[in-house]
C-alpha cells in the first residue's frame, strides 16, 4: 500500500483503468491499494443533490470552484416538477450554475440523463477519469473511461479539484461466443449477477473494477452501457470496456478535447479471472428484490402486470428505445397496463421524432416522458399502488423503488418489457 508519493517511484504492468488513474494523477504507474489524488477530466453533479452541496459549500465560504470548466451539472432526476420542493431545487440549481460559472449546465429540456448524454456529446471520452456523486457513473466504462462515485464528497472535488481514492483491484470477465437473437446485453448483465450470487463466478465485486474481455466487437455502445450499469448494483466501484474501433470512431466524431484510449498490458495483474459463454443465453427476468435474482423468462411467463417502464441509465439509448418500438409497431398496450417510455437524452428524443418511432409509441398507447430518470428515480413520476406489478428496464428493483413497498418489481430487457406491455403479462418476446 503506497501513498501517491511512493506510487510515483513504482513502475509496473497495468490494467487499462489503472493507466487512466495513473494518468489522472500524473504518475507513471499505480497499484491496487495505493492512495492517490486523481485530477478528473469531468466532474458531474445531479439535480437531486446539488442544493445540499451548494448549501454545504456556502456554509464554509466557498463561492468559487477549483475547475468550473470541468463541471457538468445535470437535471435528470426530477425533470417534471411534481412538487414545490422540486421547483425550489430547480431554482437553487440554476442559481448555483450561475454563481459558480460552471462550464456545462443542463437544465430541464437540455441534455437528458447525466449517465447517457455526456458520452453522446463528447464531454467524456475514452481514457478519461470522472468523479460523480452517483454510482451509475460506471456507465462511462462503456467508452473506455473510468468513473468513480464519491457521494457527497463531490463537494470536496468541486472546491479543491480532486479527492483521494484507493486504487481498486481489478477483475477480468471474458465473454465468449455471441448473444442469440432477442437476447439483450441487459440479460447478460443480470446473468452475471445470477452467476455471482450462485458462486459459479466467485467474484466479490465490492470496491473492485470489473473489466470485460473476449468477443467484444459485437457490443455496440448502447450494449456496453447496459453492461456497465448492472455491476454497480452488485457493488462494483468501476466497470471497463477496452474501446472498440466503432467506439473510438464515435468518440472521435464528438470529442470536445483530445483523448488517448488506454488498454490493459498483456501481463497486467487481475485479482481474479472468469469466463462466460454467450451462445446459449436466453432472455432473463429478475425477480423482485434484486437484479441478481434472475431466472429464465419461462419461469415467470404469464405473471400479470399493471405497469411497464422502458428507460433508465441502463436501457435508454436510441438502440434500446428503437428496438422496443419495433415490438410495439402495429400493436396496442394491453388494457389495464400503463407503459412509460423515457429516452435517455435529447439526442435520442430528436432521433425518435425524426422517424416514425414516436408515432409508434403514441399509437400503441405508451406515455413518452422527457429524457431523464423517469420512474427509476423513486417513482417521482409513474408510481405504483399497493400490490401492483411492474416489469421494467430500471437499474434496480429493490422493494419500494417505484412507490408502494409491497409492489412487485420485475426487470427485463427492452424487448421483454415492450412485449409484456402488449400481452398484459410477462412474456418471452420471441413468443409474442
- How many separate domains does the chain show? 2
Same domain, yes or no, for 213 and 337?
no
What residues contact residue 91 under an 8 Å CB cut-off, 6+ apart? none
Note whether residue 3 is domain-resident: no
Note whether residue 320 is domain-resident: yes
What residues contact residue 179 under an 8 Å CB cut-off, 6+ apart? 185, 187, 188, 218, 278, 281
> What is the pLDDT at residue 82?
86
Provide the residue-wise pLDDT of the chain in tens; the chain has 432 residues.
677 766 656 679 999 999 999 999 999 999 999 999 999 999 999 999 999 999 999 999 999 999 999 999 999 999 999 889 999 999 999 999 999 999 999 999 999 999 999 999 999 999 999 999 999 999 999 999 999 999 999 999 999 999 999 999 999 999 999 999 999 999 999 999 999 999 999 999 999 999 999 999 999 999 999 999 999 999 999 999 999 999 999 999 999 989 999 999 999 999 999 999 999 999 999 999 999 999 999 999 999 999 999 999 999 999 999 999 999 999 999 999 999 999 999 999 999 999 999 999 999 999 999 999 999 887 688 899 999 999 999 999 999 999 999 999 999 999 999 999 999 999 999 999
Is residue 249 left, alpha or beta, with left meaning phi > 0 and alpha meaning psi from -120 to 50?
Answer: alpha
Same domain, yes or no, for 380 and 309?
yes
> What is the pLDDT at residue 5?
66
> What is the pLDDT at residue 79?
94
> What is the pLDDT at residue 331?
99
Same domain, yes or no, for 132 and 265?
yes
Same domain, yes or no, for 231 and 357?
no
Note whether residue 6 is domain-resident: no
Note whether residue 166 is domain-resident: yes
Same domain, yes or no, for 323 and 177?
no
Please report, for the domain that includes residue 233, its CATH number: 3.30.499.10
Note whether residue 2 is domain-resident: no
Same domain, yes or no, for 318 and 342?
yes
pTM score above 0.75: yes
Domain range spanning residue 73? 15-281
Residue 286's alpha-carbon distances to 128, 162, 236, in angstroms, are: 32, 37, 19
What residues contact residue 71 under an 8 Å CB cut-off, 6+ apart? 43, 44, 45, 65, 100, 102, 103, 104, 158
Task: Examine the fold and report which residue of 263, 281, 299 is the final residue of a domain before the chain moves on.
Answer: 281
Amino acid at each position: 500500500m503506497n501513498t501517491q508519493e511512493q506510487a510515483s517511484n513504482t513502475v509496473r504492468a497495468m490494467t487499462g483503468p489503472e493507466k487512466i488513474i495513473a494518468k489522472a494523477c500524473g504518475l507513471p504507474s499505480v497499484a491496487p491499494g495505493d492512495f492517490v489524488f486523481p485530477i478528473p477530466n469531468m466532474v458531474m453533479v445531479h439535480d437531486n443533490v446539488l442544493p445540499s452541496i451548494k448549501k454545504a459549500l456556502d456554509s464554509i465560504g466557498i463561492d468559487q470552484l477549483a475547475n468550473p470548466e470541468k463541471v457538468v451539472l445535470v437535471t435528470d432526476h426530477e425533470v417534471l416538477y411534481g412538487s414545490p420542493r422540486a421547483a425550489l431545487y430547480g431554482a437553487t440549481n440554476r442559481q448555483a450554475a450561475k454563481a459558480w460559472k460552471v462550464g456545462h449546465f443542463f437544465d430541464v429540456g437540455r441534455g437528458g440523463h447525466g449517465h447517457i448524454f455526456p458520452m453522446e456529446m463528447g464531454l467524456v471520452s475514452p481514457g478519461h477519469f470522472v468523479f460523480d456523486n452517483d454510482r451509475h457513473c460506471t456507465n462511462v466504462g462503456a467508452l473506455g473511461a473510468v468513473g468513480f462515485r464519491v457521494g457527497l464528497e463531490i463537494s470536496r472535488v468541486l472546491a479543491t479539484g480532486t479527492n483521494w481514492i484507493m486504487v481498486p483491484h481489478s477483475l477480468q470477465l471474458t465473454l465468449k461466443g455471441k448473444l442469440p437473437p432477442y437476447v439483450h446485453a441487459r440479460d447478460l448483465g443480470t446473468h452475471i449477477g445470477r452467476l455471482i450470487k450462485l458462486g459459479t463466478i466467485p467474484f466479490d465485486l465490492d470496491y473492485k473494477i470489473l473489466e470485460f474481455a473476449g468477443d467484444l466487437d459485437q457490443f455496440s455502445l448502447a450494449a456496453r452501457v447496459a453492461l456497465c450499469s448492472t455491476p454497480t448494483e452488485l457493488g462494483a466501484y468501476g466497470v471497463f470496456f477496452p474501446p472498440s474501433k466503432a467506439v473510438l470512431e464515435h468518440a472521435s466524431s464528438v470529442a470536445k478535447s483530445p483523448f488517448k484510449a488506454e488498454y490493459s498490458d498483456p501481463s497486467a495483474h487481475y485479482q481474479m479471472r472468469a469466463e462466460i459463454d454467450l451462445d446459449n443465453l436466453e432472455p432473463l427476468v429478475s425477480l423482485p428484490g434484486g437484479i441478481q435474482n434472475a431466472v429464465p423468462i419461462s419461469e415467470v411467463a404469464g405473471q400479470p402486470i399493471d405497469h411497464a417502464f422502458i428507460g433508465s441509465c441502463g436501457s435508454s439509448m436510441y438502440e434500446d428505445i428503437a428496438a422496443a418500438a419495433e415490438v410495439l409497431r402495429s400493436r396496442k398496450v394491453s388494457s389495464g397496463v400503463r407503459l412509460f417510455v423515457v429516452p435517455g437524452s435529447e439526442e435520442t428524443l430528436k432521433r425518435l421524432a425524426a422517424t416514425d418511432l414516436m408515432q409508434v409509441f403514441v399509437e400503441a398507447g405508451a406515455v413518452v416522458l422527457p429524457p431523464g430518470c423517469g420512474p427509476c428515480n423513486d417513482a417521482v413520476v409513474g408510481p405504483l399502488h399497493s400490490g401492483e406489478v411492474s416489469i421494467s428496464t430500471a437499474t434496480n428493483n429493490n422493494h419500494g423503488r417505484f412507490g408502494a413497498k409491497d409492489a412487485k418489481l420485475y426487470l427485463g430487457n427492452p424487448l421483454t418489457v415492450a412485449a409484456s406491455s402488449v400481452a398484459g403479462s410477462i412474456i418471452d418476446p420471441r413468443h409474442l
